[in-house]
Chain A
Amino acid sequence: MTESVPAPATPSQDAKSFADHLRAIEFDARMVGMIAALAVIWLGFNWLSGGAFLTPRNLWNLSVQTASVAVMACGMVLVIVTRNIDLSVGSMLGFVGMVTGLVQAQLLPGLLGFEHPATWLLSIAAAVALGGLIGLFQGALIAYLAIPSFIVTLGGLLVWRGGAWWVTQGQTIAPMDSRFRPLGGGIEGAIGTTASWAIGLIICALIIAGIAFARRRRKRYGFALRPLWAEIVLAALACGTVLGAVMIANAYALPAGVARRLTEAKGGTWPEGGLIIGHGLAVPVLLALAVGVAMSFLARRLRFGRYVFSIGGNPEAAQLSGVNTRKVLMLVYGLMGMLVGIAACISTARLNAATNSAGQLDELYVIAAAVIGGTSLAGGIGTIAGAMLGALVMQSLQSGMVLIGVDTPLQNIVVGIVLVLAVWLDGLYRKRLG
């Protein structure tokens, strides 16, 4: 087996069907389908609410409300891909949030002084570390003691919710550190228009560089390439979406009083007719996007991600190939816990308070987001981007129903039906594609 026959790297010679062609250029039909579904939801609510849905204000709030669940959904994808589940994330969020509140409102002020500049960072570090440790612990029970994940995390759901109450005997902790609060969005959590444009342009540059880089690599190995026009359209669509989002965030004006205060604080004068200052992108949204990018990278470009997916596809095969499946599984739960820590910071900052009921039912929204986003409960299949879109779909449904005045019980009924429907449709789609 030392002689090498030249690789037949020219599949384009074969007569190909349209579907083959789409596959060759790595066209993702399910992602396009999800975006279409989101568009239908948005347009539908906009019509039902008489134009109130597709406003900068509503979309900005929608993005902020989605952040916490979207962050956790990134981790849930990996958990579900390994054929497991995590029912404890909502309770963990509550517990970690309480501890984080305690750390920054009582522990750190005692040690460093009130409103110390390091408080916010230490709080986040504490939340991520605590979440990670809890995750690793649950993961170890699942991976090494072979207790079913459903049971371990169902226990976790009860334990950490109880723990959240125990931390302060049910007392709410407020307010949070002023440097911590921007994590939750709100006026102080908007980065302003100039910075938003800058970030938007940087993201666009990265998108274009990424597409060009991937194309060069495929060319080097002589693989089938997307037609150039397709690459350009793709880049244009992606950049258009990014810049469009920036434009919308910037179009959401700060309240006049806040704008005036800001202007005067910078030494400017408040003009007669007022001044419109946009919010710009929100910190939690940027954080969620950063988490999404990092997790996508981990899932698709790192060895760890490859192991996670192969375990989901065939745990025995992964093990026989020399993958340390138990360790990988434990680390997946550790990662999930760290993301819960980040989500706990976002929701605590957003409420400006740590309450023991924070994150209630979040496990279900997170799982639903992952599943709507195309993660298969049978394991082995799922994408981070899909789960984040799934989180946006769930939140859009909910916000939209609030906007048009649907009663709370009916909201739950609708969300439940949509979840079941989405999974059914997804199953049909998969069967079609074999």
Chain B
Amino acid sequence: MDMTTPLVEMREISIAFGGIKAVDHASVDLHAGEVVGLLGHNGAGKSTLIKILSGAYHADAGEIRIAGKPVSISSPRDAKRHGIETIYQTLALADNVDAAANIFLGRELLTSWGTLDDSAMEAETRKVMGRLNPHFRRFKEPVKALSGGQRQSVAIARAIYFNARVLIMDEPTAALGPAETKQVADLILELKKQGIGIFLISHDLHDVFDLADRVSVMKNGKVVGTAHVRDVTQDEVLGMIISGKCPPGAVAGPGALRS
């Protein structure tokens, strides 16, 4: 799998906020149909790195390639144009409008008169939600009124409805119960089968080991190392997260502890 051109390559990405290097020469890549887990403590820079890919932040330096071609991503709109969809940890839902309005926000379906086609959007929403969360019924209500799991499925629906090639999931199960977590896990495996590349950001080492093909670990804004999950143990990965020690099964990055 590693022989082909990666779907996404982020090379030597750096960004600083007021002198603090949040991401420092970080490189990660992702292939089609692959799940890459991004691990690290809070503040390790994984969310920031991923926000550069989704267009929320603009990198100070570095290069992003999609299917081998260098691209410039300076806004969420650019990222979406390249088929990169993001499910944010905060879900980034407008609480005061309904599920359909959220799913189509920024990409509304219009009638031939140029007005919002709410009925069409609601019908499409019913279709996609029927697949993700068949019990979902509250199409008319603002998403504020929904449960955590329901809100999560709205955010996921928004990401997958537009035929994403790359999906970024930032702590997708942090707010969910066990049953819903299982649902998300099944969904990830299904999307993977369809050839979508997924960046999975998580605290939960077990989750990542169950779902990811490879893991990249970050510490203090730098990549400690990248490894296939079959080549490393959970304890070794934990060591990478905590002390930055790169085990023999992993490819060391610039953030690896030099001994």
Question: In this complex, what residue of A is CB-closest to B79?
Answer: A322
Chain A-chain B contacts (Cβ-Cβ < 8 Å), number = 118
- Distance in Å from the Cβ of B233 to the closest Cβ of chain A? 34
A218:B119 contact, CB within 8 angstroms: yes
Task: Give a binary string over B91-112; 1 marks a CB under 8 Å from any A CB, 0 the rest.
Answer: 1111111000110011110100
Q: Which residues of B contact A317 (CB under 8 A)?
A: 91-94, 102, 105
Q: Which residues of B contact A434 (CB under 8 A)?
A: 145
B122 in contact (CB, < 8 A)? yes
Q: Which residues of A contact B86 (CB under 8 A)?
A: 320
With A303-B108, A303-B116, A310-B101 in contact, is A23–B94 under 8 Å at CB?
Answer: no
> How many angstroms between the C-alpha atoms of A319 and B130 in the bound complex?
27
Question: In this complex, what residue of A is CB-closest to B116?
Answer: A301
Give how many B residues have a beta carbon under 8 Å from the other chain's beta carbons.
47
A313:B95 contact, CB within 8 angstroms: yes
Question: In this complex, what residue of A is CB-closest to B108?
Answer: A303
B141 in contact (CB, < 8 A)? yes
- Distance in Å from the Cβ of A292 to the closest Cβ of chain B? 17
- Distance in Å from the Cβ of A368 to the closest Cβ of chain B? 22
With A301-B116, A316-B92, A320-B88 in contact, is A306–B108 under 8 Å at CB?
Answer: yes
A314:B93 contact, CB within 8 angstroms: yes
A1:B92 contact, CB within 8 angstroms: no
B137 in contact (CB, < 8 A)? yes
Q: Which residues of A contact B88 (CB under 8 A)?
A: 320
Q: Which residues of B contact A322 (CB under 8 A)?
A: 75-77, 80, 105-107
> How many angstroms between the C-alpha atoms of A311 and B114 in the bound complex?
21
- Name 23 A/B residue pairs within 8 A (Cβ), A-sorted: A1-B163, A1-B194, A4-B131, A7-B127, A7-B130, A8-B126, A8-B137, A220-B119, A300-B116, A303-B108, A303-B110, A306-B101, A309-B101, A310-B101, A312-B94, A313-B97, A314-B93, A316-B90, A317-B91, A317-B92, A317-B93, A318-B106, A320-B56
A318:B123 contact, CB within 8 angstroms: no
A residues contacting B by CB (< 8 A) are 1-2, 4-9, 11, 14, 23-24, 26, 217-218, 220-221, 223, 297, 300-303, 306, 309-314, 316-323, 379-381, 434
> How many angstroms between the C-alpha atoms of A349 and B90 in the bound complex?
52
> How many angstroms between the C-alpha atoms of A218 and B110 in the bound complex?
16
Select one of A2, A6, A321 contacting B106, CB under 8 A: A321
> How many angstroms between the C-alpha atoms of A11 and B137 in the bound complex?
6
B50 in contact (CB, < 8 A)? no
Q: Which residues of B contact A380 (CB under 8 A)?
A: 94-96
- Distance in Å from the Cβ of B86 to the closest Cβ of chain A? 7
Task: Give a binary string over B217-256; 1 marks a CB under 8 Å from any A CB, 0 the rest.
Answer: 0000000000000000000000000000000000000000
> How many angstroms between the C-alpha atoms of A309 and B90 in the bound complex?
19
B105:A312 contact, CB within 8 angstroms: no
The 5 closest A-B pairs by CB, nearest first: A313-B94, A380-B96, A313-B96, A7-B126, A322-B106
B97:A306 contact, CB within 8 angstroms: yes
B96:A312 contact, CB within 8 angstroms: yes
B182 in contact (CB, < 8 A)? no
With A303-B110, A320-B88 in contact, is A23–B96 under 8 Å at CB?
Answer: no
A309:B76 contact, CB within 8 angstroms: no
B residues contacting A by CB (< 8 A) are 54, 56, 75-77, 80, 86, 88, 90-97, 101-102, 105-108, 110, 114-116, 119-120, 122-123, 126-127, 130-131, 134, 137, 139-142, 145, 158, 160, 163, 190-191, 194
A323:B120 contact, CB within 8 angstroms: no
Q: Which residues of B contact A302 (CB under 8 A)?
A: 114-116
Q: Which residues of B contact A381 (CB under 8 A)?
A: 96
A310:B97 contact, CB within 8 angstroms: yes
Q: Which residues of B contact A217 (CB under 8 A)?
A: 119
Q: Which residues of A contact B54 (CB under 8 A)?
A: 320
> How many angstroms between the C-alpha atoms of A379 and B95 in the bound complex?
11
> How many angstroms between the C-alpha atoms of A394 and B104 in the bound complex?
38
Q: Which residues of B contact A309 (CB under 8 A)?
A: 94, 96-97, 101
Q: Which residues of A contact B93 (CB under 8 A)?
A: 314, 317
With A1-B160, A23-B140 in contact, is A318–B131 under 8 Å at CB?
Answer: no
B194:A7 contact, CB within 8 angstroms: no
B140:A24 contact, CB within 8 angstroms: yes
A4:B137 contact, CB within 8 angstroms: no
Q: Which residues of B contact A319 (CB under 8 A)?
A: 56, 76
- Distance in Å from the Cβ of A322 to the closest Cβ of chain B? 4
> How many angstroms between the C-alpha atoms of A381 and B127 in the bound complex?
28
Interface-centre pick from A309, A311, A313, A381 (highest chain B CB count, 10 A)? A313
Question: In this complex, what residue of B is CB-closest to A218?
Answer: B119
B94:A314 contact, CB within 8 angstroms: yes
B76:A306 contact, CB within 8 angstroms: no
Q: Which residues of A contact B130 (CB under 8 A)?
A: 5-8
- Distance in Å from the Cβ of A279 to the closest Cβ of chain B? 36
- Distance in Å from the Cβ of A357 to the closest Cβ of chain B? 38
Q: Which residues of B contact A26 (CB under 8 A)?
A: 140
User: Assuming A303-B110, A313-B97, A319-B56, what are 10 further A-B pairs, CB within 8 angstroms?
Assistant: A1-B160, A7-B127, A24-B140, A303-B108, A306-B97, A306-B101, A306-B105, A318-B106, A320-B92, A322-B105
